[in-house]
Amino acid sequence: MNTIILAAILSSSSLASLGCQSIPAAAEPTATDHTPMVLDGSPDEWDRPNSGYADGHAIYLNFSPKTDFPSAIQAAPYTTRIRIDADQNPKTGRPMRWMSLTAMVQEPQGVDLLVELSPKNEQGTIGIGSSVIEYDQSGNPTYTGHAALGFAFLPTYASTTYEARIDRLAPGAELLANAGPIDIVIDQIDEDGRFLWSTTIVLDLPKITQSPKPDVAIPEKPKKSVRVMSSNVLFSSPLKNPDPFARVLDAIDPDVILYQEWFNTPIEKVQGWLDTHAGKGWSVHMPSSKAGVAIATRNRVITTYDTVIAKSGTGRPARVVAALIDTDAGELLAISIHLKCCGNAGSSEDAKRIDQAKSINAFVRFVHEQHPRAKVVIAGDFNLVGSYEPMATMVEGLGKRGRDLSTVEAQQLGDASMITWKDEKSRFSPGRLDWMLIDESMSKAVNAFLLDTRTLSDASLRLMKLEPDDSKASDHLPIVIDLK
């Protein structure tokens, strides 16, 4: 197996002395077996914090910064850096100082690849998003981007632990194609370049494995279940580019669709699109043409709810819609949501998301009083880019005997990842913005998956009658569950 080494962890308290104290040396490198990796932002598959793992396809990192007040690290008041010395040569690449194990000053690290989260902007202050820079042997920079490195991390919200992945087969990852040891420093610095926290990881990269894309198929829906799909359609894109959405819809074949971003589109146009591209028999419910959220189903609708949360801002329609639907799995309270965008932990946008989550929680309690046997699915774009508090607020106590709702841990078909949003041109690296919640005291998700056609083999695509770039039609991936 590959070597996983925890070389150093330095916090703001130990760095404050800047050379006035020594730090114990690290333990000798040890080889460690490892469970299969899933990019989900959870430390569960890691046997220790601040460590790494590499296989023939990717490099995985997990790190737990010593931050008093965590921020989502792409919109933080500090910069998080992943510094890679790919040749273990301090004389090549960009020389960057670092914190030593035995002294606070040592020979600079020769950085060949640099990923910065919340990098400095053109004004010289800390900005948002990500930056990826490759340095040649003389230290000259080439600015690429997260897509060139296949870089992603989770979670997107403020956390005390993070998980990152770099694709060794990505077009900009040539420096990571060779087998052998590499040095990685992960640190956080403030606007003036002062170290807040640092850890050092050494990995032994194995040979690259050029394996084909996986052959997978969409799971068959079980009997007495309901297939629910959440789909963000990117500013009503099906009207301009119908074929990819139609192919995906046909392949997944859901019973209930929870839509987001049918912005400024009358219900008649959404109904007409489904009639044309998905066949007759669909009914559509939207609270307004401006809200963007909608519910479409081929099942009998018992009742619909327009007012789930209060209007947003200056009378703008709330981006939440609900319907009680009769399904093969019983009564289902289906809720499509699109929470407030942007901001960070403690921002006004985050406070708005928390208020919206409180209203949704209260609404579910209200419906349960009238329909105590109704199962619950809440899905959509949660925009968890600040704190986790909106999610914690929404799920609280809505199941039997006060149990919380559960998050559906859906992975991409053919890729061990829970990334739901990606935009190669965005300054923000891919993340998990879309979530689905269910009441496990009343139901169970038999199948749960995300669909990204870009990760599938030609054989899989032919089987499902999909095209390789169908998932590029939106920046969000559909989440699908079969609920029993």
Short-list 419, 402, 310, CA closest to 357 = 310
pLDDT exceeds 60 at position 174: yes
What's the mean per-residue pLDDT of the chain? 89
Mean pLDDT of 13-23: 34
Contact 422, 39 (CB under 8 A): no
Q: How far is it, in rounded angstroms, from Cα 34 to Cα 443?
A: 33
pLDDT, greater one: 37 or 68:
37
pLDDT exceeds 60 at position 21: no
Mean pLDDT of 374-395: 96
CA 147 to chain centre: 15
Q: How far is it, in rounded angstroms, from Cα 405 to Cα 395?
A: 5
pTM score: 0.90
| pLDDT classification of 298: cutoffs 50, 70, 90 | very high
Q: How high is the pLDDT of residue 289?
A: 83
Q: How high is the pLDDT of residue 108?
A: 86
Contact 356, 314 (CB under 8 A): no
Which residues, in sequence order, are CB contacts of 306 under 8 Å at separation 6+? 287, 321
Concatenated DSSP letters of 97-137? ----SS-S--SPEEESEEEEES-B-TTSSB-SSEEEEEE-T
Q: What length does the chain have?
A: 484
| pLDDT classification of 311: cutoffs 50, 70, 90 | low
Rg from Cα positions in the chain: 24
| pLDDT classification of 36: cutoffs 50, 70, 90 | confident
What's the pLDDT tens digit per position in 440-481?
A: 999 999 999 999 999 999 999 999 999 999 999 999 999 999
Query: Tokens in use for 226?
Result: 């309901």
Q: How high is the pLDDT of residue 124?
A: 87
Q: How far is it, in rounded angstroms, from Cα 69 to Cα 67?
A: 6
Contact 429, 74 (CB under 8 A): yes
Residue reference for tokens 């081929």: 298
Q: How far is it, in rounded angstroms, from Cα 260 to Cα 286?
A: 10
pLDDT exceeds 80 at position 173: yes
Give all domains of the chain, ordered by start, each with its CATH number. Answer: 4-205 (no CATH), 226-483 (3.60.10.10)
Q: How far is it, in rounded angstroms, from Cα 206 to Cα 208?
A: 6
Query: Tokens in use for 312?
Result: 């947003």
pLDDT, greater one: 311 or 326:
326
